[in-house]
Amino acid sequence: DEVVDERTADTPAPAVTIKVSSRDRVIFPESDVTKGELADYYAAVAGIMLPVTGHRPVSLVRCPQGRARACFFQKHDAGSFGTAVHQVPVREKDGSTENYLWVDDADGLVACVQMGSIEFHGWGSRVETLERPDRLVFDLDPDEGLGFAETKKAAEHLKEQLAELGLTSFPLLSGGKGVHVVVPLTPQAEWPAVKDFASRFAQALAQAEPDRFVATMAKAKRKGRIFIDWLRNQRGSTAIMPYSARARAGAPVAAPVLWTELRDLDTAARWGVRDVGELLNRANGRSLAGWGVADQVLPDL
């Protein structure tokens, strides 16, 4: 059967009007990737990145002097990014309201790069349905000693357990060490219910295989185990967005993959900003069609 994903089928690179200054500034010293190259990367992948990243509050990892110098995580802004970067007022726990950033086009992505951003982290909900998440993510963080083989197996295990609950999931290489297991949701349940599900699911896996998994933050308990970070699934938390570059050596990117491909990969940093052609081919071809798309709601747990 021909599966056509309308979000990724032959998406042309949208036009960019934002001017990027200091294009020759080296942002990734290990591989000489410049600010101009990074801006061009985001302009090129905008068509495949925005279907997931667009219309979602984003936090940025900004490294104005390059990834080897000071970087900071930015959630709010009063308008210094210009009009291509939109704002959505969000009520905080303490009752105050903060403006969060979101983008919906290539100009928005490039405007963030112009401001020194490297990474795009997104909420689990969209600005139109802020209180109703449209995705769950389990961030698998292996302890130091563990290899990618164990991480892959863990991801596969989560996939199977989710499938038993009737949930389709998709793997995302983080571009760093781990794999994120992404579960698309129809925005229906609100944050507390979604967080509760994520917590219960992760705790159940850790309880069933305590030598292999841990579901609590405590570093001491992680020795030789994989931390199933379910805490990405609370209101205000973020996870790396597909096709975001990472502020790590070699300019890797977070990359969607198929479960069948994951088995043969040996690193979560398989693709980088210089692989833009290959990333576009993969996304616009048939192989990744349907990645991240599933109309489903959480079961009771």
Interface ranges with ligand ATP (CB under 6 A): 73, 121, 139, 141, 174, 176-178, 229, 238-240, 268
Q: With binding defined as CB under 5 A, does residue 119 bind Mn ion?
A: no
Shortest reach from residue 246's CB to ligand ATP, in Å: 7
Which of Mn ion, ligand ATP, none is residue 238 near (CB under 5 to 8 Å by kind)? Answer: ligand ATP
The residue written with tokens 């002097």 in the block is 65
Shortest reach from residue 231's CB to Mn ion, in Å: 8
Name the residue nearer to ligand ATP (CB basis): 16 or 246.
246
Shortest reach from residue 299's CB to ligand ATP, in Å: 26
Name the residue nearer to Mn ion (CB basis): 119 or 139.
139
Q: Is the dihedral of CA 205, 174, 267, 164 positive or negative?
A: positive
Shortest reach from residue 249's CB to ligand ATP, in Å: 12
Name the residue nearer to Mn ion (CB basis): 40 or 229.
229
Q: With binding defined as CB under 5 A, does residue 40 bind Mn ion?
A: no
Give the CA count within 13 Å in the CB-facing half-sphere of 176: 17
Instruction: Write the binding mask 221 to 240 for Mn ion: x where contact by CB under 5 A, - elsewhere.
Output: --------x-----------
> What is the 3-state secondary structure of the chain?
CCCCCCCCCCCCCCCCCCCCCCCCCEEECCCCEEHHHHHHHHHHHHHHHHHHHCCCCEEEEECCCCCCCCCEEECECCCCCCCCCEEEEEECCCCCEEEEEECCCHHHHHHHHHCCEEEEEECCCCHHHCCCCCEEEEEEEECCCCCHHHHHHHHHHHHHHHHHCCCCCEEEECCCCCEEEEEECCCCCCHHHHHHHHHHHHHHHHHHCCCCEECCCCHHHHCCCEEEECHHHCCCCCEECCCCECCCCCCEECEECCHHHHCCCCCCCCCEHHHHHHHHHHHHCCCCCCCCCCCCCCCCC
Amino acid found at 186 = T
The residue written with tokens 């790069």 in the block is 113
Q: Closest-CB residue for ligand ATP?
A: 176
Q: Which of residues 45-74 bind Mn ion (CB under 5 A)?
A: none
Shortest reach from residue 25's CB to ligand ATP, in Å: 23
Shortest reach from residue 206's CB to ligand ATP, in Å: 17
Shortest reach from residue 17's CB to Mn ion, in Å: 35
Name the residue nearer to ligand ATP (CB basis): 17 or 73.
73
Q: Which of 139, 244, 257, 273 binds Mn ion (CB under 5 A)?
A: 139
Which of Mn ion, ligand ATP, none is residue 239 near (CB under 5 to 8 Å by kind)? Answer: ligand ATP
Q: With binding defined as CB under 5 A, does residue 178 bind Mn ion?
A: yes
Name the residue nearer to ligand ATP (CB basis): 105 or 139.
139
Shortest reach from residue 82's CB to Mn ion, in Å: 31
Q: Which of 44, 108, 141, 198 binds Mn ion (CB under 5 A)?
A: 141
Tokens of 159: 């996939």
Name the residue nearer to ligand ATP (CB basis): 44 or 253.
253
Q: What's the CA gap between 7 and 264, in Å, rounded?
A: 27
Which residues bind to Mn ion, rule: CB under 5 A?
Answer: 139, 141, 178, 229
